[in-house]
Amino acid sequence: MDYLNDALKIREMARRHNKLFKNSLPMIASENIMSPLAMEMLLTDFGFRYAEGLPHHRYYQGNEIVDEMEEYTVELLKKLFRSKYADPRPISGTVANMGIIYGLTRVGDPVTVPDLSGGGHISAARFGAVGMRGLDSTAYPYDEETMTVDPDGARKIILEKKPKLALFGQSVFMFPAPLRELQDTFQEVGCRVWYDGAHVIGLIAGGKFQDPLREGAEILSGSTHKTYPGPQHGMVMGECEEGVWKSVQKGLFPGVLSNHHLNTMAALAVTTAEMLEFGKSYASDVIDNARTLGEELNSLGFRVLGEKRGFTESHVLAVDVSDQGGGRFAAERLEKSGIIMNKNLLPRDKGKKSQDPSGIRIGTQELTRIGMGKGEMKEVAALIHDSLMGNESEESISSRVLELKSGFDEVRYCYGKLKAYEYIELLKSL
């Protein structure tokens, strides 16, 4: 019976993990929670099957309904993003990026990318997928005043390097990338333009951040579990020539994919249907909450970056906590108080180790998803302040967190109701 004891131990770990987040304020900028309908898809037989290739061109039998589901998912994504093409097969945002890199570049090709210290994602770094592909990458200059890529500096880099592929998109993505400002430059050098919207794609879907496919990008990639409140999965949309799109699809399969996790694709489809219905109000509320939280933290004496532009136009805030012990200390102390966010490098941290940065990164999408609004953001700011200033013990802050969280225990902006963070209990009812 050892196997049963082992299995029950894992089940108990899952219960404790659920309780941890139920009793905390989850503010990791790259996480979210799903609706009950989307979650149910993870439990279906889709999760046990293979479907290599594209619909009606599979290497396995038994895919008739899989083909129907995948084609429906494609149509939902095309409708939501108003794109000519869509591919829901990537199993993560980074895998989506890898497929694009494999499909549109060759070893040695010049590419231009966001700077890592300016919030760029590791897949665009020399030690990430771009470097592993053997590409000749050059980072755009970053403007610390506007907290985004410097358009004049980027123009010079693009004209000088003549990249085959120009990538935009960040992990600390507070303000839109300067795609419109660089349109003439893209056309002058004839480069492909790719926008990695992993963090902000839920806001793009809601029409509240920027519209990359109408502003000069041909390819839009994204994760589906950050501001997009779905499963751990990825997706790619295209507004490009057919030949370019076919190259992207070949990069995905057989480039970086075999089977593509059909249960999470089904969950993505459900989430996409929900975003078509609720996306605009959800995205608007996420951004309003982030700006309110930034304003309140600033008024309490924190150095919130992007002040001249209203702190953020997305779900993300970047806060310099050097005076409060640094990013690592702040994130660990907040965690002990029931407030979960992550330490993060800031633009000023060039040369610093990622484990010892000056800043913390805060996201408002999950708290918004469970119904919190501007009033609660002010309470959250007070909790962060009192924790990091040492005004109260960790136990006292945790108690206040529990009191605040107790009034917000359902997932919103979706069909049906679900007690948040009580997934194992949901399974019993299915």
Q: What is the pLDDT of residues 364-418, one digit of tens each?
A: 999 999 999 999 999 999 999 999 998 789 999 999 999 999 999 899 999 876 6
Lowest-confidence pick of 107-116, 276-285, 299-308, 320-329: 107-116
pLDDT at 214 over 80: yes
Q: Please say which residue of 220, 239, 272 terminates a domain.
A: 272
CATH number of the domain that residue 396 is part of: 3.90.1150.10
Burial (CB count <10 Å: 0-12, 13-18, 19+), residue 7: exposed
Same structural domain for residues 44 and 172?
yes
Residue 49 in domain: yes
Residue 155 in domain: yes
Specify the pLDDT at position 133.
Answer: 85
Residue 139 in domain: yes
Kindly state the average pLDDT of the residues 74-96.
Answer: 97
d(CA 136, CA 151): 21
> How is 8-74 classified by DSSP, letter by letter?
HHHHHHHHHHHHHHHTSEE--TT-----HHHHHHTTSGGGG----EETTEESSSS-HHHHHHHHHHH
Amino acid, res. 232: Q
Same structural domain for residues 110 and 153?
yes
Residue 17 in domain: no
Q: What tokens were used for 231?
A: 């499963």
d(CA 56, CA 160): 45
Same structural domain for residues 107 and 160?
yes
pLDDT at 428 over 60: no
pLDDT at 132 over 60: yes
Same structural domain for residues 234 and 362?
no
d(CA 77, CA 61): 26
pLDDT at 427 over 60: no
Same structural domain for residues 247 and 320?
no
Same structural domain for residues 291 and 360?
yes
Residue 33 in domain: no
Q: Please say which residue of 222, 255, 272 terminates a domain.
A: 272
Residue with more model confidence, 131 or 363: 363
SS3 call for 209: coil
Same structural domain for residues 109 and 242?
yes
Residue 4: pLDDT band (50, 70, 90) is confident
Residue 315 in domain: yes
List beta partners, residue 58.
Answer: 53
Residue with more model confidence, 128 or 94: 94
Same structural domain for residues 203 and 330?
no
d(CA 177, CA 314): 12
Specify the pLDDT at position 45.
Answer: 96
Residue 12 in domain: no
Total domain count for the chain? Answer: 2
Specify the pLDDT at position 430.
Answer: 47
The closest alpha carbon to 102, from 141, 132, 126, 59, belongs to: 132
Kindly state the average pLDDT of the residues 65-93.
Answer: 98
Same structural domain for residues 246 and 301?
no
Q: Please say which residue of 250, 272, 294 terminates a domain.
A: 272
Same structural domain for residues 128 and 172?
yes
Same structural domain for residues 328 and 313?
yes
User: Apex CA 270: angle with CA 268 and CA 272, to 5°?
Assistant: 70
Helices (H), 179-230: 183-189, 201-205
Q: Which domain holds residue 335?
A: 279-429
Q: What tokens were used for 324?
A: 């409060």
Residue 16 in domain: no
Specify the pLDDT at position 57.
Answer: 94
Same structural domain for residues 46 and 190?
yes
Calculate the average pLDDT of the chain.
Answer: 93
Specify the pLDDT at position 129.
Answer: 72
CATH number of the domain that residue 86 is part of: 3.40.640.10
pLDDT tens-digit map of 51-72: 999 999 999 999 999 999 999 9
